[in-house]
Structure formats: structure tokens, C-alpha cells
Amino acid sequence: MLALWEAVVRVAAIPPYILPGPILVAKTLVTDWPTLAPALLVTLDVTLQALLAAVVVGVALAVLFSLSRWIELSLFPYAIILQVTPIVAIAPLIIAWVDDVRVSLLICAWLVAFFPILSNTVLGLRSVDRNLLDLFQLYGAGRWRTLVDLRLPAALPYFLGGLRISGGLALIGAVVAEFVAGSGGRESGLAWRILESGYQLKIPRMFAALVLISAAGIAIYLVLSWLSHLLLRRWHESALGGEG
Amino acid sequence: MNLVRVRDVSKIFANGVQALEGASLDIEAGEFLSVLGPSGCGKSTLLRLVAGLETPSAGAIEWPSGRSSGRPDLGFVFQEPTLMPWATALGNVVLPLKLRGVTRSEREARAVEALGHVGLAGFEKSYPRELSGGMKMRVSIARALVTAPKLLLMDEPFAALDEITRRRLNTDLLELWQRTRFTAVFVTHSVFESVFLSQRIAVMSARPARVLSELAVPAAYPRTEAFGTSAEYAALCRTTSARLAEAMEKTSC
């Protein structure tokens, strides 16, 4: 693929400001590393914090929903509205309302990331073996015990599935929000580097930044998959494939 | 002495299905009682009522010797092993003790002992997925017995197992019962199983179910594989089958 790309660029003599070849992109990645690395860190920082907030709020809400039907019925519609509203459409509002750009970026990334965790965890907390629930009742377990010892472990595979989706979404949310915010200066992430490179026709750098975003997304996915495997390998069907 | 008295109990579920109608049954302390009836006739409902997992729509369930509030210790074995897949065999067996606040060291010691009683010594650290169907059922029985209950309720526990495993578990269950002398109530749709295991059989009709007749199985214990091939066993099975057929005739299923 990469070789073909390089060949096409060379044979057709496409200028680098239209489409740079992979070798040039790789070179740019190295030479521009001093500007790209801090940007990558900023974007990753927003992504991971948003993901963490999504986990905390998503799981807390899911537990609350599982404990009370009323809370679920009254709050779940709002969660859905937040989910279906395009982040690009509400990002300018959030950025206008919140003074701190960083906080507004966090809110945007969190908004897109938290729903899969919430809905998957709610599903997991409900997908408990009826007989096991009976057993807990038989031995006089209260709601809290049942939650900790039965519902949460049963929901774990569902939660981890949601987390893997949310990891990618948090990154997308962070990048999209950065685009909309268009913030410059020291504290700017990869999206800003892409915009900036576009204005300055530094297309190879734009591609280098794109590569970094993709790489970050893949890395997040791999780490979360590994985490999931680690937690489930002893007992869950999803983690059983491929071992002796 | 009666451990439990089921008095004219009816159960109508919220969806309008009537599972039981005027069912009465006395359960003697220390006996091995089978409840025999066609599948889906309300046997499970009767068991769940005794366990307190359902409340009767009419009638009463009395515990003459028990505390006025709450039931005495009882164990429940479901049709499926119903184990927590994320916990080891030991982790599953400790559960009832854990939920009752027994200290960690004591509950683990008792769980190891219970696993030993069902022939699973050495499998404490195995996860359910690493165990066969029969072994999972043994874990389930160990879990039910770990609290040393007065009463063990079993809801067609071996129905999903193959014939050979089922026979082995039947024999082992009897041995366990003779050693510990809990009261056993065993729900089954198998005439052969009920005769092999129990001292007394309560035959139930189809839904809405009642206890139509009770019959004694006078054969002596220990009952081994040899009992299962004896003429006495065959005759008892014939009588029981006839009773079951009678029960089926009186009701439309």
C-alpha cells in the first residue's frame, strides 16, 4: 500500500502540497517532532481525561439507573438527546459558554464518550442470571451486596465493550472540539496543528499530524482490548479464543 | 415431626397463569421426598414457595419447629448449575457464607470441606468453564450444603445431564444424605429417579397443580446400583408410573 502510494506520487509527479508521499510524511514526522509531540500530548491528555470522566459518570449513572426505575425513566431521555445531537453542532455553544478552552474541550470529548459506557453498563447490570438473583435473595443479600457481588461482575464484559467504543469516541470528540475551538498558542493539540498546516500549505505536516491521530486511536484501542482481555481471560467467552 | 406444612396453597401469577390450586403437602424432618409430575406443572413453583422466593396467593406454608419469623436454613439447587462464571469453584461455594457474614477463614475452610463432600477436592481453584456439566452440578450442591441447612430443595437438578453422570450423582447424593441427614425435597419428572432416591413420592397433577397422591417407597438404604436393577425396584417403578398416569388422566395438560 505504502509502496504503491509512494510510486504513484513519484510517477505522476504530484507536488507535495497536494499529496505528499509516505517517505516525506515520515521525514516530516521526525523533523517536526518538536512541534507535533507537545500537540499529541495535549490531545491525548484531553482524550484520556474525558474518557476517565466518561467512565466515572457513565458507571455511576448506570448503577443509579439499575437501582431505581424512576431515575432511569426521568434521566435516560436526556442521555439519548446528548448522544444523538451532533457534537459539531453543540461544540461552539459549549465553547462560548465555558471560558476555559481546555474545560470546554473536555466537556465535548466527554459528551461523545460517555453514552456507550452508560448504555452498555445498564444493559450489563440487567443481564444477570435470574436464578443467581434468587440465590442472593434466598441468602438475604441486600441491594448493595447484590450490586457489588453479582450485578457489577456480571456487567463487566458489557462495560469493557462500551469502554473500547468510548476510547475511540473520546479521541474523535477531542479532535472535533479542537477544530471548532480553533485555539492557537502553546496549549494546542493535533487538530490545531492540522488546521495551521492547512493554512500554511504545509501539507506533509498535516499528514504527519493525521498519522499521529490514527496511531493514538489505534494505541487506545489496543490498550483497552488488552485490559479487557486481562480482566476477562479466566472466565468470559469473549476472551477464551486462541489459548490451549 | 413435620418440618414444613404446605396448606391448601394456590398460586396465580401476575400474568394470570394459575400454577397451583389447593396444594397440600407435609414434609417430614429428615426424610427424602420426591415431588413427581409432568414438566411445567407447577412443581418448581411449589419449591419456590417453600423457599420463600414466591408468596402464595392463598393458603399457607408453616414451619412448626422454626422461628416465627423467617425460615430455617435451607439450600436450593436449581435446574442449571447457576454458578457465577467469574468466581472459582471455591468462590462460588463460599457465597452463602459470605452473604451471611461468616469470616473469611472460616467460610473458606467450610467451603473446602463441602467441595470435598461432593467429590471435588482439588478443584477449588477451577473456574466453572473448566468443569464438566456434572462437576458444575456438584459445585452447585456443595454451595447449597455449605451452610449445613436443615432442608435441601432441588429443582430437577440432574435433568440436563447425561444418563451416566445422572446415575453417579444420584448415588452420591444419597450417600451425602445418609451421612448428613438433611431433609431433601427433590423435584423431578422421572419416575425412575424418584423411586431410586426417595422414601416418599408426592405425585402432582398437571397445571393448575395439586398433590394428587403420596406413596411410600419402602426399600431400604443404602441403595446402590444393584437396587436399580432389582425386581423390587421394577415393581415400585410400575406402581409409581400407574399413579402418575392416574394423575394425568384426572387433569388435562
Q: ipTM value, please give it.
A: 0.90
- Give alpha helix (H) positions in chain A: 2-11, 22-31, 33-67, 69-84, 87-97, 101-126, 130-138, 143-146, 152-181, 190-199, 203-232
- Rounded to a whole number, what is the distance in Å from the CA of A73 to chain B's nearest CA? 23
The answer to whether B160 contacts chain A (CB < 8 Å) is no
Instruction: State the pLDDT confidence band at B70, using cuts at 50, 70 and 90.
Output: low
Question: Which residue from B107, B28, B164 is spatially nearest to B172, judged by alpha carbons?
Answer: B164
In a domain, A85, yes or no: yes
Task: Delineate the domains of chain B, giving CATH numbers in brackets.
Answer: 2-72+151-250 (3.40.50.300), 81-149 (no CATH)
Q: Which of A138, A235, A236 sits opposite B76 (nearest CB)?
A: A138
Q: What is the pLDDT of residue A2?
A: 85
Torsion angle of alpha carbons B27, B29, B30, B33, nearest 10°?
0
Residue A242 resides in a domain: no
Q: Is residue A202 part of a domain?
A: yes
Asked if the structure places residue A69 within a domain, the reply is yes
**Residue A61 domain flag:** yes
Q: Is residue A106 part of a domain?
A: yes
Of B51, B86, B128, Cβ closest to residue A138: B51
Provide the pLDDT for residue A180: 85
Confidence label for B66 from pLDDT (cuts 50, 70 and 90): low
pLDDT > 90: percent of chain B: 69
Read off the pLDDT of each residue in B47-59 and give the average, rounded to a whole number.
92
B34, β-bridge pairs: B186, B201
Q: Measured between beta carbons, which residues in chain A are less than 8 angstroms from residue B93?
A: none
- Contact between B152 and B182 under an 8 Å Cβ cutoff? The reply is yes
B95:A236 CB<8 A: no
Own/partner contacts of A130-137, CB < 8 Å, gap of 24 or more, are: A131/B78, A131/B80, A131/B82, A132/B82, A132/B84, A134/B48, A134/B53, A134/B76, A134/B78, A135/B76, A135/B78, A135/B82, A135/B95, A136/B99, A137/B53
**Do the Cβ atoms of B82 and A149 come within 8 Å?**
no
Residue A42 located in a structural domain: yes
Q: Which residues of B223-247 are buried (b: 16+ CB within 10 A; e: fewer)?
A: beeebbeeeebeebbeebeebbeeb
Minimal-distance CA residue of chain B relative to A130: B82
Considering the domain boundaries, does residue A8 fall inside one? no
Tell me how crowded residue A198 is: count the other CB atoms within 10 A of its CB. 13
Using an 8 Å CB-CB cutoff, list chain A residues near B74: 138
Residue A50 identity: A
Q: Which domain holds residue A180?
A: 20-232
- Does residue B92 contact residue A132 with C-beta atoms inside 8 Å? no
pLDDT on residue A243: 44
CA distance A27 to A213: 17
CATH code where residue A170 lies? 1.10.3720.10
Residue spans of alpha helices (H) in B85-199: 89-99, 104-117, 133-145, 163-180, 191-197
The count of domains in chain A is 1
244 residues of chain A, pLDDT tens digit each: 888 988 888 888 888 888 888 899 999 999 999 989 999 999 999 999 999 999 999 999 999 998 888 888 898 888 888 888 888 888 888 888 888 888 989 999 999 999 999 999 999 999 999 999 999 999 988 889 999 999 999 999 999 999 999 999 999 999 998 888 876 555 688 888 888 888 888 899 999 999 999 999 999 999 999 999 999 988 887 776 544 3
Mean pLDDT, residues B83-88 taken together: 95
